[in-house]
Amino acid sequence: MEIRANWMSKPHPDSRAILAIAVLILTAAGAAPMARADGEVALMDRVNAALRGNDRLNGAKAYTAAPGVVVLYGMVFDDKDRALAEQTANGVNGATQVVDNLRTKTGKWFQEEERINTQLQMNGFNDVQVRVVGPEVYLSGKVTSQSEKQRAASVVASVSKLQIDNFIWVQPGSIF
């Protein structure tokens, strides 16, 4: 004796419609994140194109961290260029927030100056000033002898690989 379930032999008349709706829902649910990801990539591309459009911003780059959130990174010359990069990114359609992680070359120079100044002061050169510009260290101020001028340059050379331009003035001390 064979017992067959009737519901297994004939498809329900609405089953195709239900299946079509299920497929549509699953497709839409999967497409939303894809569309969002595509939108984030497009925003990133638009911001990077805008940054490349200005020669002052050639070291700045961007990525998107979330929908509408642009993160700037890389290196620009100074704080003016940093502000320009942020303004440029904010001006791109779709950018709702800009996170500035840019570094500046002048900031890097300042850090090097601070490091050299500390070393000079630790060696008793309180009247010597340092200015770092690119690959050069400029020394100025005054010392009491030529040997002190040379020693100041040696102190700088011991902590920095930059080219030293020594403009320290030698002013002999009082005899009395």
Predicted confidence at residue 87, as pLDDT, reads: 97
What is the per-residue pLDDT across 87-116, written as a single tens digit (0 to 9) for each? 999 999 999 999 999 999 998 899 999 999
What is the per-residue pLDDT across 124-146, written as a single tens digit (0 to 9) for each? 999 999 999 989 999 999 999 99
Question: 106-170 architecture in CATH?
Answer: 2-Layer Sandwich (3.30)
The residue ranges of every structural domain in the chain are 15-101, 106-170
For the cut 70, the answer to whether the pLDDT of residue 37 exceeds it is no
Query: How far apart are the C-alpha atoms of 12 and 6, rounded to whole Å?
Result: 11
Q: Which CATH number fits domain 15-101: 3.60.40, 3.40.190, 1.10.1740, 3.30.300?
A: 3.30.300
pLDDT band at 5 (very low <50, low <70, confident <90, very high): low
